[in-house]
Amino acid sequence: MPVKLVAPSLDLLPAYADALRRGWSADNVRGKAAADEELERISADPQGFVDSLDNPDSGGPPVRRVDGSLGPRLPSIRRWLWDDGFCGSIGLRWGPDGGPLPDWFPYGHIGYAVPPWRRGRGYATEGLKLLLPEARARGLDHVELTTEADNPASQRVVVKNGGRVVARESSGTLHGGAEVIRWRIDL
Ligand SMILES: CC(C)(COP(=O)(O)OP(=O)(O)OC[C@H]1O[C@@H](n2cnc3c(N)ncnc32)[C@H](O)[C@@H]1OP(=O)(O)O)[C@@H](O)C(=O)NCCC(=O)NCCS
């Protein structure tokens, strides 16, 4: 499959914005509200929006934590899955100074999303496979991921990339209180 990971850029931004206009969002929790917010930011400052997606040296505006408080942004990169056009988004974040993820960030190192009209073609599986060497190159020896227990598609994506279950959690605010599976992929 020719899918590749590309760094977000101004020339590719219209295809990403099209997906947002169709109601898709990389934010699996906030969905359309997050898509609408991003469209406003793109319209106000397209280059600023693109720049905000890649943040390998940390810095940038604070993020809202699960408990509602504001905290410093984790270092992160975003890549877009690209085939004959935009077909998904995948992000990697890691602990400050290369250390473990802090306790206040329970979502794991990697998150991904594929628009509904692009699903079932192996894009997420391939995207995760392509991102793992980038994680290794940034000094990580493993990555953790979380999936909802009732998200078999995402679980398949992790399993096909060598993931193993490390915990199941049935309460808390993570993923809106749904049962969550924690995974680990050794790099
Ligand atoms: C999860 C998601 C990223 C998968 O994207 P995708 O590009 O369609 O995934 P792939 O095509 O690479 O693989 C999906 C796998 O799940 C399987 N699958 C899909 N629906 C399934 C279901 N209901 N039950 C069991 N397996 C299912 C597919 O058969 C495929 O496995 P296979 O290759 O062994 O046949 C996509 O559905 C999505 O964006 N969902 C919403 C956001 C999300 O859940 N993100 C992950 C957060 S943890």
- Written as one string, the DSSP assignment of the chain is ---EEE---TTTHHHHHHHHHTT--S-TTTHHHHHHHHHHHHHH-HHHHHHHH-BTT--SS-EE-TTS-EEPPPPEEEEEEESSSEEEEEEEE--GGG-PPPTT-TTBSEEEE--GGGTTSSHHHHHHHHHHHHHHHTT-SEEEEEEETT-HHHHHHHHTTT-EEEEEE--SSGGGG--EEEEEEE-
Confidence bin at 175 (pLDDT 50/70/90): low
Split at pLDDT 50, 70, 90, the class of 105 is: confident
Whether 50 shows a pLDDT value over 80: the answer reads: yes
pLDDT at 60 > cutoff 80: no
Whether pLDDT at 152 is above 80: yes
Tokens of 169: 């959690």
| Average pLDDT score over residue span 16-38 | 94
pLDDT category at 100 given cuts 50, 70, 90 is: confident
Residues 6+ apart with CB under 8 A from 132: 143, 161, 185, 187
The one-letter amino acid at 140: L
Domains of the chain: 4-186 (3.40.630.30)
Ligand 1 pocket mutation, candidates 5, 82, 125, 145, criterion most atoms within 8 A of CB = 125
- What's the pLDDT at 38? 97
Higher pLDDT, 102 or 59: 102
Mean pLDDT of 77-99: 94
For residues 165-176, average pLDDT:
76
Which protein residue's CA is at the shortest distance from atom 9 of ligand 1?
Answer: 124
**Higher-pLDDT residue of 14, 107:** 14
Closest Cα to atom 25 of ligand 1: 152
* Cα 126 to ligand 1 centre (Å): 11
If you average pLDDT over residues 109-127, what whole number do you get? 97
Tell whether ligand 1 has an atom less than 6 A from the beta carbon of residue 120: yes
Position 172 pLDDT exceeds 80: no
Distance 157 CA to ligand 1 centre (A): 6
**Is ligand 1 within 6 A of the CB of residue 81?**
no
In percent, the amount of the chain with pLDDT more than 70 equals: 96
Q: Closest residue (by CA) to atom 32 of ligand 1?
A: 156
- Reported as a pLDDT band with limits 50, 70 and 90, residue 64 is confident
- Distance (Å, whole) CA 20 – CA 7: 18
Q: What residue owns the CA closest to ligand 1's atom 1?
A: 154
Decide: 87 in ligand 1 pocket, CB within 6 A.
Answer: no
Flag whether pLDDT at 142 surpasses 80. Answer: yes
When pLDDT is averaged across residues 153-181 and rounded to a whole number, the result is: 86
Half-sphere exposure of 36 (CA within 13 A, CB side): 4
